[in-house]
Amino acid sequence: MDTLKLDGKVAIVTGSGQGLGLAFAQALAKAGAAVVVNDIDAGAAAAAVASIEQAGGRAVAEVVAVGSTPAAEQLVARAVSAFGRLDIVCTNAGNLRDKVLWNLTDEDFDSVVTTHLRGTFTCARAAVRQMRSQGSGGRLILIGSPAGQRGNPGQTAYAAAKAGIAAFARTWSMECARSAITVNAIIPVAFTRMVATIPAFAPLAGSVARGERLPDRLRKGMGMGTPEDVAPLLVYLASDQAAHVTGQCIGIGGDKLALWSHPQEISSAFSDGGWSAESIAELWPGTVGQALESVGLPPLE
């Protein structure tokens, strides 16, 4: 469909030297967009650009660590100087410092939040300012995580940052609507080098490296596939076909596509004149507390 083509569009993908980001950049370029590849590894960024150009696409590299306002403005300026405009931004850059709460240092926490949460904020702000000045709309596509939707032990900073990114998508979709800028979050489940370090998945690393298909118990049962399985959702959300889709958290992985719900009240009770601790304790088991929400991700199989 012509409305899925991105000819004439210009995109930035942060953290696109490898993994999900590389798959995103390559897919956007294949659909016709010119892409600014961003990474902190100059070699990885150059290799990503080369892979896009060898496939007939257009791309340039911008090596900078996202998080700060100057870095975000540098990325937007590169898109405009190289290709004349900016239409699509995918905030994919991230890092991990996985530790349980009592072992997590200030430096660990700040590193993850700076890259994921602040980096998403600063890049989105710079991009929206450019898109609004152009007056022709745009697409912000944020990258969340199941950990941000459900929580995950050992991922205090990561889960908090990804939950904040989901809130960004909902908030910015309302703020940017008049400018015809849609804002959505992808919740990906993909077999990456990070996932390969999990003992349950380590035996699959070799077959994935050889390009072999993951078993159905993962592709269907857990909705886990490769980065290339996630990229089509990005292309769809960047296209004219998705002009009506905004403020959503959309999951994809393997053979599974899903829409995540927004947080909402699921039960309530009322007490004339307000509540005391005693009245809450008395009524909790038979009212609001009858069926508590679960937390965490499905167990690895």
114-119 average pLDDT score: 98
What is the model's pLDDT at position 193? 74
What is the model's pLDDT at position 301? 55
Q: Is 83 helix (H, G, I), strand (E, B) or coil?
A: helix
Burial class, 265, CB count within 10 angstroms (exposed 0-12 / middle 13-18 / buried 19+): exposed
- Architecture field, domain 2-259: 3-Layer(aba) Sandwich (3.40)
225-253 average pLDDT score: 97
Strand 138-143 to strand 181-188: parallel, antiparallel, or no bridges (unpaired)?
parallel
Rounded to whole angstroms, how far apart are CA atoms 20 and 32?
Answer: 19
Query: Residue 94 corresponds to which tokens in the numbers above?
Result: 């991230």
What is the model's pLDDT at position 199? 63
Which ranges of 104-256 does DSSP label H, i.e. alpha helix? 106-113, 119-134, 146-150, 156-175, 193-196, 205-209, 216-219, 227-238
CB 116 within 8 A of CB 94: yes
Rounded to whole angstroms, how far apart are CA atoms 29 and 235?
Answer: 10
What is the model's pLDDT at position 251? 97
Query: Residue 9 corresponds to which tokens in the numbers above?
Result: 């569009």
pTM: 0.94
What is the model's pLDDT at position 203? 79
Rounded to whole angstroms, how far apart are CA atoms 47 and 18?
Answer: 9
Query: Residue 242 corresponds to which tokens in the numbers above?
Result: 């998705």
For tokens 């949460």, the residue is 117
Of the pLDDT bands very low, low, confident and very high (cuts 50, 70, 90), residue 1 is low
25-29 average pLDDT score: 98
Domain edges within the chain? 2-259
What is the model's pLDDT at position 194? 65
For tokens 């905030």, the residue is 91
Kindly state the DSSP code that residue 118 receives in the 8-state scheme. I
Higher pLDDT, 211 or 50: 50
Digit-coded pLDDT (tens) for 135-193: 999 999 999 999 999 999 999 999 999 999 999 999 999 999 999 999 999 999 988 77
Q: How far is CA 233 from CA 48, 50, 96, in A?
A: 20, 23, 24
Catalytic residues: 158
Q: Is 250 helix (H, G, I), strand (E, B) or coil?
A: strand
Digit-coded pLDDT (tens) for 183-220: 999 999 988 776 776 666 777 778 788 888 888 888 98
What is the model's pLDDT at position 31? 98
Of the pLDDT bands very low, low, confident and very high (cuts 50, 70, 90), residue 300 is low
Query: Residue 3 corresponds to which tokens in the numbers above?
Result: 């409305």
